[in-house]
Amino acid sequence: MTTPTGIAPRLEEACSDRPLRVLGIESSCDETGVALVEVASAGPGSAMPLLLAHALHSQIDMHQAYGGVVPELASRDHIRRVVPLLRETLSRAELALEQVDVVAYTQGPGLAGALLVGAGFGCALGLALDRPVMTVHHLEGHLLSPFLSADPPEFPFVALLVSGGHTQLMRVDGVGRYELLGETIDDAAGEAFDKTAKMLGLGYPGGPALARLAEQGRGDAFALPRPLMRSGNLDFSFAGLKTAVWTQLSRLDAAAGGRADEAQRADLAASTQAAIVEVLVTKSLAALKLTGLKRLVVAGGVGANRRLREVLSQQCGRKGIRVHYPELQLCTDNGAMIALAAAMRLQAGLAHPTLDYRFDVRPRWDLSAA
């Protein structure tokens, strides 16, 4: 395994006759995640890392009362959860803390205070155990998460990264080889789901709630804009859609002399979802055409959307394009994807584990610079 001088001999010696165990810690937003993966030796054809165990705590219930994530509360909750989650992970994996070889944590992007909890905890753990620590880019975790699924992709592929903060299309040629093809110039797709859900009084997190309401409505009920769909590039824009939904909802409310009825609200939810899905699918197909690739990976929270999956499989199936997703439970934030990304970086010789436990976080961080 190729690792920086100083650490490489130690890791190699420790793992000469057994796989390396990587602990992953995720705390970038409103989920605390801890996971352990095992990774065999490096080199072409080496086996994929194996997920031994993971544990997750979602703060959704706590933030629901505020209609969105409250950063200060998020950080404090990560502090409360991280030790019990570590214990749970170790117990599920039937391993002792001393059997961890490397500690990896999400360094960014995300909420600064929330990231600091995972970074501080990871480095303290590394120091106490005398084990190297390494940083992981949160989006790289999402991007590589389908490698933990029953149907893992092969490089190269086009990745559609759709989370609460990001909407990006990337060409992925291998671990650490990411070329940005296009991204949102304003709101992310997840944000469009969340903001529309809020207008409809559906609470937080909006994506799953809007998707549920949309199941009862007609996607063609209202003609909502498909921003930048025919722009000729692979960028996205969702801010205008939010305004169009607001205008439509105000009209419906006014016509009803108060609050639009449930059927109309469901139609509006379904029409919003249809607009977002159509733009995401059209741009993904354009990215596949541009690159000539026949494989698509969809990752990030919005990747859990059922309608998006249905339309993608219909349209890609017709064109002979394989679509890969993470397991549903690993679409939203989790520790497994962080441990996996760290392990794949180690395997590819791209990781920089260190015994220097000074740390900092990167709330804003481009994946192409990782």
> What's the closest the beta carbon of residue 41 comes to Zn ion, in angstroms?
30
The distance of closest approach from Cβ of residue 109 to ligand KG4 in the complex, given in angstroms and rounded to an integer, is 9
Nearest distance from residue 269's CB to ligand KG4, in Å? 11
Q: How far is the CB of 181 from ligand KG4 (least distance, A)?
A: 19
Pick one of 77, 194, 235, 267: the residue that binds ligand KG4 (CB under 6 A): 194
Pick the stretch among 52-60, 115-123, 200-208, 218-226 that binds ligand KG4 (CB under 6 A).
200-208
Site for ligand KG4 in 240-259 (CB under 6 A): none
Q: How far is CA 211 from the centre of its chain?
A: 18
CA distance 181 to 171: 7
- Token pair 């990896």 is found at 104
One character per residue 141-170, x = contact with ligand KG4 (rule: CB under 6 A): -x--------------------xxx-----
- In the complex with Zn ion, the residue whose CB is nearer, 55 or 224, is 55
Question: Least distance in Å: CB of 139 to ligand KG4?
Answer: 8
**3-class DSSP string for 107-154:** EECCCHHHHHHHHHHHHHHHHHHCCCEEEEEHHHHHHHHHHHCCCCCC
- The correct pick among 301, 326, 335, 353 for binding ligand KG4 (CB under 6 A) is 301
Structure tokens at 230: 């025919």
Q: Could you tell me if 305 and 270 are in contact, meaning their C-beta atoms sit under 8 angstroms apart?
A: no
- Residue 344 interacts, among ligand KG4, Zn ion, none and using kind-specific CB cut-offs from 5 to 8 Å, with none
| CA 93 to chain CA mean position, Å | 24
CB of 246 to Zn ion, least distance (A): 26
* Identity of the residue, 71 or 349, whose beta carbon is nearer to ligand KG4 in the bound complex: 71
Between residues 140 and 333, which has the closer beta carbon with respect to ligand KG4?
333
Cα gap 31→13, rounded to integer Å: 35
CB of 41 to ligand KG4, least distance (A): 31
Binding site for Zn ion (CB under 5 A): 163, 333
Choose among ligand KG4, Zn ion, none what residue 126 binds, the Cβ cut-off being 5 to 8 Å by kind: none
Give the nearer residue to Zn ion in terms of CB position, either 135 or 163.
163
Beta-carbon contacts of residue 192 (< 8 Å; ≥ 6 apart): 238, 241, 242, 272, 276
Q: Indicate the helix (H) or strand (E) that contains 8.
A: helix 8-14
Q: Are 171 and 181 in contact (CB under 8 A)?
A: yes
Please give the Cα distance from 227 to 341 (Å, whole number).
33
The three-state secondary structure class of 35 is strand
**Binding residues for ligand KG4, per CB under 6 A?**
29, 142, 163-165, 190, 193-194, 205-208, 211, 300-302, 304-305, 332-333
